[in-house]
Amino acid sequence: MKRSEMNARIVDAVDFFDRHRFFLPPFAHWAPDAWPEDLERVREILDRGLGWDVTDFGQGRFDELGLLLFTLRNGAADGAGASAKPYAEKAMIVGTDQVTPMHYHWSKSEDIINRGGGRLMIRVYGADERDGLSGDDVTYVSDGVAYTVPAGHLVSLAPGESITLTPKLYHSFWAEGERVLAGEVSSVNDDERDNRFLEPLGRFPAIDEDEPPFRLLVSDYGRLFPED
């Protein structure tokens, strides 16, 4: 993706969050030159991947296959750190007919919540012994109620509704009607090692640096703030 497109998406996202009265933490608004010089003060942000994330999954078709996320909080798999957390939280903007591709998580359990906008559509499958799509029925929980549905069932979440996605439960999602403000509340998130896409895809996009960044992405941290 071009950096200019990412910048524009983040500007739009700030307005979208504001209109839904979902307010982001202060570091969401730091310009690249406004980060503290003492990086140890922001080590949790850097090490846990908190902040902006705009991805087209390496396919160059963001409006069709993409997602914008902001990670608000995240723990560490080993439970270490000054503010150890066994949980994570993200806010996401899901476009109409903008697909997040079929994937599961090896260890993360998560609730995906429709916090406002259109309907959030989620297709679910179990995983077979070869990590393909199973034809077996799927059991999931939505807002405390258990459902058993055929493989490939399409779950439709209205604003306020949610679904619990357990490890190795394949899912793909998109919005219908209008964009959705989606929330994710989960166990510790590890985008480097805990995503299993059905089709080989890149989790983070290559960036064409056609203009300076408006806000840093989580994928910028390792390059700009290398650890000694």
Task: Write 68-71 long-range contacts (CB < 8 A, 24+).
Answer: 68/9, 68/10, 68/13, 68/92, 68/93, 69/93, 70/13, 70/17, 70/24, 70/28, 71/189, 71/218
CATH number, domain with residue 212: 2.60.120.10
Q: What is the pLDDT of residue 116?
A: 98
Domain that holds residue 108: 3-224
Model pLDDT for residues 11-36, shown as the tens digit of each residue: 999 999 999 999 999 999 999 999 99
pTM exceeds 0.85: yes
Q: Are 181 and 22 in contact (CB under 8 A)?
A: yes
Tokens of 215: 């806000």
pLDDT in tens, 52-66: 999 999 999 999 999
Q: Under a CB-based contact definition with an 8 Å cutoff, are residues 111 and 164 in contact?
A: yes
Query: How many domains does the chain contain in total?
Result: 1
